[in-house]
Amino acid sequence: MDLPMNRVNFITLAVRDLARSRAYYEALGWELEEAMDEVAFYALPGQKFGLFTLAGLARETGIPVEELRTGAASLAQNQPDRPSVDAAYAHALACGGRAVRAPFETDWGGYSCYVADPDGHLWEFAHNPFSPLDERGNLA
Q: Each residue of 64-106: pLDDT tens digit?
A: 888 887 666 789 999 999 999 999 999 999 999 999 999 999 9
Give the CA dihedral 9, 36, 120, 62, nearest 10 degrees: -80
Domain ranges across the chain = 1-67, 70-140
One of 3.10.129.10, 3.30.365.10, 3.10.180.10, 3.40.1280.10 is the CATH number of 1-67, namely 3.10.180.10
Q: How far apart are CA 103 and CA 27, in angstroms?
A: 21
Fold match, 1-67 / 70-140: yes
Which pTM was predicted?
0.84
Each residue of 27-39: pLDDT tens digit? 999 999 999 999 9
CATH number of 70-140: 3.10.180.10
Of 84, 89, 83, 82, nearest to 106 by C-alpha is: 82
Report the pLDDT value the prediction gives residue 15, as an integer from 0 to 100: 93
Share of the chain above pLDDT 90, in %: 65
Quote the pLDDT of residue 70: 62
